[in-house]
Chain A
Amino acid sequence: METPALEARQVIKYFDDPVRVQVLHDVSFALGRGEFAAVVGKSGCGKSTLLYILSTMDTAYEGELLIDGVPMRGKKEAALARVRNAQIGFVFQFHYLLNEFSVLRNVMLPAEKLGKLSGPEIEHRAYEKLRILGIESEARKKPNQLSGGQKQRVAIARALINDPLIILGDEPTGNLDQKNAEIVFDIFKELAETYHQALLIVTHDNDFAAKTHRIIEMEDGRIIPQRP
């Protein structure tokens, strides 16, 4: 069997502030290549918390996290940063673009950090990603000159620049209107089906979730077993 792109084994998470609360209980699941999954659940059930753990940014958990079959436990902070840089694309609900740089440069940054391609090649790729998202005409603008939906699409382009194995999204379409949300959905679907990237997207949008390959439903820090 093919190694899953992302696998969580009995992930447990506590918050200690102000009192010790268990937020995730034995969360286990695997996400294969080319799989497009939606995570749904009530507010406060632990979706974001799980996503931060899966993104390797949060390391204070129990259990196992494997990315492309490689366990993440015990890796140094710098090694985890490299994993994030090369293998994970993250789209937040808020866009988090750097207003000091142009849209194009924002998209280029992770690739420049990776350092595998030359400057012009990276620029070319960045244009390509912006075109896929329909905003290549905004490339030279500063992020604060864009609309909310446009910013979000720039953030998605940035998450795609290194062709990551896994794309994680925390309500990436939460700030978008119906039309833009559909554009983003189509892009995600294409990434999964054409480029075999694994996508795990947290969403409150039931229509959006329904159209994905798979729905992971959470309740009080647990994944509800799916009926076949």
Chain B
Amino acid sequence: MKLPLLYDVALALLLARGRQSLVAAIGVTFSITMFIALLGFMSGLNQLLDGLVLNRTPHIRLYNEVQPAPQQPIDRYTGLDVGPARPHNFIRSIKPSNELPRIHNAGAIIAALRHDPRVRGVAPKTQAQVFYNVGTINLTGTISGIEVAQEDQLFAFGDYVTAGNPLSLNTVANSIILGKGAADIMLVGVGDMVQITTVKGSRVQLKVVGLFQSGLLEVDKVQSYTSLTTAQKLLGEANNYVTDIQVKLCDFTLAPPLAQEYAQHYEVQALDIQTANSQFETGTFIRNLISYAVGITLLIVAGFGIYNILNMMIYEKMDTIAILKAMGFAGADVQRLFVVVALAIGLSGGAAGLLFGFGLTVAISHVPFHPASLPTVHFYPVSFNPVFYGIAAVFALITTYLAGYFPARKASRVDPVDIIRGK
């Protein structure tokens, strides 16, 4: 049959129950709006929190830890596997050799990694344990020697420098970017000098060129940054002394297998981001799950709204159904008619919901938000991921279809004789 007729009849039915239809459509609009806004907001926050970790953490960290010898000399005598009578060895006399946690042949490894097509960037780092001298008191601290430009490019280092210019580390000799917490304790600011003591006992004067705030108070009390060469000088090591190689990958999901590969290939230890931050993924997953659950619940409630209005409409329009059937509409036509009514409510409500959802998300993104830990964030973070809109649209379609399907099926089974006889 011609579809326009069906649409005309559906429209007439909708208009006959205009107000209730509108309320049902508004129900859908509301639920889609909330679904979009909720997911946009939640995943904005998720991205922010993940970014906190992902931006600042290398996807793979190569390092060399002080470790005991894997095979004690006595093992060579007793052997590792000589049957059930194997004597137990409890002598472990050989301590770790006196070696600094450096990566051997760091220059070559970095060069090789830069040629790896899976790698987006590599930044070397040298960690040094120091004491900050504050009057007569010494505070423990960690200074990381970094290549500022690379660190900024890969880990947005500059975002966390709240005062001063990070690039001064390269231009000013013996300069340091102090953790905000440490600077507060030492009562120094940009331009002041601080004195530190290295593990080897030498005292060095460094000029503060910037302050650094990670957002984690404990870190900011301890952590400071300097250039790679300054850190190597503090340690009294040559300019090839590197303790960490930080690798950023093009696709961070490849981190675990690549970490293994690098560990084997370069004979270093390698830690991938997934292992280092497994709890973050869990948090993200649960937040997403809750948003989806709430959103879908709202949609189902809206679906019941449509179901109700349709049932009411069918109950009221029994005569119409009967006469349509007497005129030659088949049950299937009647069913299609009411499904069209339901879809008209659902789709109009849903389309409005998508728009309002977008609008609400935009509104949220203009609400001021100044988390202490995130100096670069000024508004609530939101996500405009089109996937949410797709899911919302598909769910609106499915719920309205189902909400319409069952009443429509009932309508298609109305026996016109019963109705006509009943008059």
A100 CB-CB contact with B under 8 Å: yes
A110 to B325 CA separation, bound complex (whole angstroms): 10
B333 CB-CB contact with A under 8 Å: yes
B-facing mask of A160-203, CB < 8 A → 1, else 0? 00000000000000000000000000000000000000000000
A55 to B16 CA separation, bound complex (whole angstroms): 29
Task: Knowing A100-B15, A158-B327 are in contact, say whether A113-B5 is a contact too (CB < 8 A).
Answer: yes
Which interface residue of A58, A101, A109 has the most chain B CB atoms within 10 A?
A109
B172 CB-CB contact with A under 8 Å: no
A113 touches B326 (CB 8 A): no
| A39-47, A81-89, A126-134 - the one binding chain B | A81-89
A98 touches B326 (CB 8 A): no
Q: Which of the residues A83, A93, A98, A113 comes within 8 Å of B423, measured between beta carbons?
A: A93
What count of chain A residues pass the 8 Å CB interface test? Answer: 30
Q: Which of the residues B16, B330, B423 comes within 8 Å of A81, measured between beta carbons?
A: B330
A57 touches B328 (CB 8 A): no
A84 to B13 CA separation, bound complex (whole angstroms): 23
A96 to B423 CA separation, bound complex (whole angstroms): 10
Task: Knowing A84-B328, A158-B327 are in contact, say whether A96-B322 is a contact too (CB < 8 A).
Answer: yes
CB of A159 to closest CB in B, whole Å: 9
Residues of chain A within 8 A (CB-CB) of B420 are 52, 57, 92, 94, 96
Residues of chain A within 8 A (CB-CB) of B333 are 81, 113
A114 touches B16 (CB 8 A): no
Residues of chain A within 8 A (CB-CB) of B329 are 81, 85, 113
Which residue on A lies nearest to B423, using beta carbons?
A94
B1 CB-CB contact with A under 8 Å: yes
A115 to B420 CA separation, bound complex (whole angstroms): 26
B327 touches A100 (CB 8 A): no
A94 to B318 CA separation, bound complex (whole angstroms): 14
B12 touches A110 (CB 8 A): no
Q: Which of the residues A81, A96, A112 comes within 8 Å of B323, measured between beta carbons?
A: A96
Which residue on B lies nearest to A52, using beta carbons?
B417
Task: Knowing A81-B333, A115-B1 are in contact, say whether A98-B323 is a contact too (CB < 8 A).
Answer: yes
A121 CB-CB contact with B under 8 Å: no
Residues of chain B within 8 A (CB-CB) of A94 are 420, 423
B residues 394-423 near A (Cβ < 8 Å) are 415-417, 420-421, 423
A205 CB-CB contact with B under 8 Å: no
B2 CB-CB contact with A under 8 Å: yes
A77 touches B330 (CB 8 A): yes
B325 touches A57 (CB 8 A): yes
B-facing mask of A66-102, CB < 8 A → 1, else 0? 0000000000011001111110001011101111110
B319 CB-CB contact with A under 8 Å: yes
B328 touches A96 (CB 8 A): no
A109 to B324 CA separation, bound complex (whole angstroms): 9
Of the four ranges (under 10, 10 to 19, 20 to 34, 35 or more), the interface on chain B belongs to: 20 to 34
A-facing mask of B328-341, CB < 8 A → 1, else 0? 11111100000000
Residues of chain A within 8 A (CB-CB) of B13 are 100
A96 touches B319 (CB 8 A): yes
CB of A43 to closest CB in B, whole Å: 14
A158 to B326 CA separation, bound complex (whole angstroms): 11
How many A-B pairs fall under 8 Å by CB? Answer: 75
B373 CB-CB contact with A under 8 Å: no
Secondary structure dominating the interface of B: helix
Residues of chain B within 8 A (CB-CB) of A93 are 423
A172 to B320 CA separation, bound complex (whole angstroms): 19
B residues 255-288 near A (Cβ < 8 Å) are none
Task: Knowing A48-B421, A58-B417 are in contact, say whether A78-B323 is a contact too (CB < 8 A).
Answer: no
CB of B148 to closest CB in A, whole Å: 74
A178 to B149 CA separation, bound complex (whole angstroms): 103
Residues of chain A within 8 A (CB-CB) of B327 are 84-85, 90, 109-110, 113, 158
Q: Which of the residues A77, A90, A115 comes within 8 Å of B326, measured between beta carbons?
A: A90
CB of B110 to closest CB in A, whole Å: 75
Residues of chain B within 8 A (CB-CB) of A83 are 328
Q: Which of the residues B322, B330, B415, B417 comes within 8 Å of A78, measured between beta carbons?
A: B330
A113 touches B1 (CB 8 A): yes
Residues of chain A within 8 A (CB-CB) of B1 are 113, 115
B16 touches A57 (CB 8 A): no
A78 to B335 CA separation, bound complex (whole angstroms): 12
Q: Which of the residues B2, B12, B326, B332 comes within 8 Å of A57, measured between beta carbons?
A: B326
Residues of chain A within 8 A (CB-CB) of B320 are 98, 100
CB of B420 to closest CB in A, whole Å: 6
A98 to B9 CA separation, bound complex (whole angstroms): 10
Task: Knowing A57-B417, A81-B333, A113-B329 are in contact, say whether A100-B5 is a contact too (CB < 8 A).
Answer: no
A113 touches B417 (CB 8 A): no
A113 touches B328 (CB 8 A): yes
Residues of chain B within 8 A (CB-CB) of A48 are 421
Q: Which of the residues A55, A77, A101, A113 comes within 8 Å of B331, measured between beta carbons?
A: A77
A90 to B329 CA separation, bound complex (whole angstroms): 14
A85 to B328 CA separation, bound complex (whole angstroms): 4
Which residue on A lies nearest to B14, using beta carbons?
A100
A85 to B327 CA separation, bound complex (whole angstroms): 5
A215 to B15 CA separation, bound complex (whole angstroms): 45
Q: Which A-B residue pairs are the 5 nearest by beta carbons?
A: A85-B328, A100-B12, A81-B330, A78-B330, A96-B323
Known contacts A81-B331, A92-B423, A100-B16; 6 additional CB pairs below 8 A are: A57-B325, A58-B417, A100-B320, A101-B12, A109-B5, A113-B327
Q: Give B contacts to A, CB under 8 Å.
A: 1-2, 5, 12-13, 15-16, 319-320, 322-333, 415-417, 420-421, 423
A-B contact pairs, 26 of them (CB 8 A): A52-B417, A52-B421, A57-B415, A57-B416, A57-B417, A77-B330, A78-B332, A81-B325, A81-B329, A82-B328, A82-B330, A84-B326, A84-B327, A85-B329, A86-B328, A90-B326, A90-B327, A93-B423, A94-B420, A94-B423, A99-B16, A109-B327, A113-B1, A113-B2, A113-B327, A115-B2
